[in-house]
Amino acid sequence: MPTDLARAKVNLCLHVTGRREDGMHLLDSIVVFPAVGDVLEVTVASDLTLEIDGPFGAGLDAGDDNLVMRAARLLSGNGAKIRLRKNLPLASGIGGGSSDAAACIRLLSKMWKVDVPSLEKLTTLGADVPVCMAQVATHMSGIGEALVALPALPKFWIVLVNAGQGVETGAVFAAMNARDNTALSRIPARFTTADNLFDYLRAQRNDMQAPAIECCPVIAEVLRAIEATKNCALSRMSGSGGTCFGLFSSEADAFKAANRIRVNHPEWWVASVEV
């Protein structure tokens, strides 16, 4: 049975640099895809159906409006039984729905032997779907359609933490005081060490973090919990929230940090993985 890991999309930095006349925001971001995510399975069937399970599956509707179903209908194919195991929190700023849609397209385009839709068609599903197709470290700009794959990043580990409160992206944008912020600093041709990467990222921002905290104050508590762990190089929120992350150069430090947070906050979702 063909399966695909729909990896979490993490914005290591996210600058909001403007707004188009149609209301779409212009972004400048570095995104990575750690080895944690939802899992999709597909099998040949006469009809197109979607089944959802997993720890966060109860909060999703498997009907025609589901992004996975919309992605499947974007392809010219036959029937399929799609199963989505939802391992990532909902409305959490780590691209779960977009990554699921991309995984669906990867699987069904192979099974049905059809072409992957154009960038323009993928963007109709959501601005993050194109970057989720390749699942590699990427400099993403524009509304999400301008993508430049980055050279292989040095090995590092990330701890992802979500307190379980969904954050609505529109509300975060509405709470922003400025939408014409500066772009990212020039990205080096290559980051030679994890410390080089961390130094660069410390000089960048997530322009949505402060308004997201205004909308969902527990995000600040999550950030403090991450910052309190030993040898955390950087803590920040991903996307529009509410998942936050800590970066570590050592697998052991990341593992210990994740365990400490789990002990102190057993109700939170916590993952520790290599990037």
Given CATH 3.30.540.10, say whether it is the number of domain 152-274.
no
pTM summary value:
0.95
| Strands (DSSP E) found in 65-145 | 80-85, 138-142
Report the pLDDT value the prediction gives residue 76, as an integer from 0 to 100. 78
Selected catalytic residue, list 9, 28, 207, 253: 9
| Strands (DSSP E) found in the chain | 3-7, 10-19, 25-32, 37-44, 48-53, 80-85, 138-142, 146-149, 157-162, 234-237, 244-248, 269-274
Annotation marks residue 128 as catalytic: yes
Report the pLDDT value the prediction gives residue 213, as an integer from 0 to 100. 96
- What's the topology of domain 3-142? Ribosomal Protein S5; domain 2 (3.30.230)
Report the pLDDT value the prediction gives residue 79, as an integer from 0 to 100. 93
Report the pLDDT value the prediction gives residue 48, as an integer from 0 to 100. 95
Amino acid at 82: I
Residues of the chain with pLDDT under 50: none
The DSSP letter of residue 145 is: T
Selected catalytic residue, list 28, 38, 100, 128: 128
Q: Are 99 and 9 in contact (CB under 8 A)?
A: yes
Q: Which residues pair with 84 in a beta bridge?
A: 40, 52
What does the pLDDT look like over 11-36, one tens digit per residue?
999 999 999 988 889 999 999 999 99
Domain regions of the chain by residue span = 3-142, 152-274
What does the pLDDT look like over 70-81, one tens digit per residue?
999 999 778 999
Give the Cβ contact number of residue 241 at 10 Å.
30
